[in-house]
C-alpha cells in the first residue's frame, strides 16, 4: 500500500514538473532588431573614470552590451561566461574592431571598486568596459536600452549588439552563444563597407 502511494506521488510530481514552461536557460536564444535611445549621461567605468555613455563609451564603435549585477547567482554568471568566451574568440580584434560593455543594474552596490574586482575575476582585457554610476543616470540609460527593471532579481536575460556609427541595433533574448554574437558583430562590420 505504501509503495502505491509513493509511486502515485512520484508520477504526480513528474506530471507537474513536466507541465511547467521551459526556463529561460533551457529556451533557445532569439534575436530581433532593436530600437534604442542612447542617453549621453555621465557614468563611471571600473576604474572610477567618468565617461559619457553615448559619446565616450559607444561612440562609433561596434559593441555588444550585457547587463548584470555582481552579487547575482542565477542568470548573470551565464551571461558573463558568454562574454568571457566571446572575448577569447575576438582575440586581437578585441578593443580594436569590437568592444564589450557590461552594465550594472545595481549601481547602488556595484561601485567602481567592486566592478574592478569583478572584471579581474572574469579576466577582462582592454576593450571590455564595466559601467556603473548614479542610480538616476544608470536607470535612464537602462530605460533607453529597454533594459530597466524595477526588480533587479527579475531582470530578463538579454544582450544588445550594435553599431554606434550607423545606429543599427539587435537584441538577443535568452542566452545566445558567443558564436552568434560574434556573427552579428561581423555582419554589422561588413554592412559598413557596402
Residue 32 confidence (pLDDT): 65
Q: Kind of pairing, strands 30-33 and 158-163?
A: unpaired
The structure's pTM equals 0.82
In angstroms, the CA 57 to CA 59 distance is 6
When pLDDT is averaged across residues 126-151 and rounded to a whole number, the result is: 93
Report which of residues 14 and 82 the model is more confident about.
Answer: 82
DSSP-assigned letters across all residues of 94-162: BTTTEEEEEEES-TTT--HHHHHHHHHHHTPPTTEEEEE--HHHHHHHHHHTT---S-GGGPPPEEEEE
Neighbours of 110 (CB within 10 A): 26
Residue 18, judged by CB atoms within 10 A of its CB (0-12, 13-18, 19+), counts as exposed
Residues near 181 by Cβ (< 8 Å), separated by ≥ 6?
64, 82, 86, 159, 161, 172
Give me the chain's average pLDDT, please.
85
List the strands of the sheet with 62-68, edge to edge.
30-33, 168-173, 158-163, 62-68, 98-104, 128-132, 42-45, 50-52
Q: Does residue 15 carry a pLDDT above 60?
A: no
Place of cell 529556451: 27
Residue 2 confidence (pLDDT): 47
Q: Does residue 33 carry a pLDDT above 90?
A: no
Amino acid at each position: 500500500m505504501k509503495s502505491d502511494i509513493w509511486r502515485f506521488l512520484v508520477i504526480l510530481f513528474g506530471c507537474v514538473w513536466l507541465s511547467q514552461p521551459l526556463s529561460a536557460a533551457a529556451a533557445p536564444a532569439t534575436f530581433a532588431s532593436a530600437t534604442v535611445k542612447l542617453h549621453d549621461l555621465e557614468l563611471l567605468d571600473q576604474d572610477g573614470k567618468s565617461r559619457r555613455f553615448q559619446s565616450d563609451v559607444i561612440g562609433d564603435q561596434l559593441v555588444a552590451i550585457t547587463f548584470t549585477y555582481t552579487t547575482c547567482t542565477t542568470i548573470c554568471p551565464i551571461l558573463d561566461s558568454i562574454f568571457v568566451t566571446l572575448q577569447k574568440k575576438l582575440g586581437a580584434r578585441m578593443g580594436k574592431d569590437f568592444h564589450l560593455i557590461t552594465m550594472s543594474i545595481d549601481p547602488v552596490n556595484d561601485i567602481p571598486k567592486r566592478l574592478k574586482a569583478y572584471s579581474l575575476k572574469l579576466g577582462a582585457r582592454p576593450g571590455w568596459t564595466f559601467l556603473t554610476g548614479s542610480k538616476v543616470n544608470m536607470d535612464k540609460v537602462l530605460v533607453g536600452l529597454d533594459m530597466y527593471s524595477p526588480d533587479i532579481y527579475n531582470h530578463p536575460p538579454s544582450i544588445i549588439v550594435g553599431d554606434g556609427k550607423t545606429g543599427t541595433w539587435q537584441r538577443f533574448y535568452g542566452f545566445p552563444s558567443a558564436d552568434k554574437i560574434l556573427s552579428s558583430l561581423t555582419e554589422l562590420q561588413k554592412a559598413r563597407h557596402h
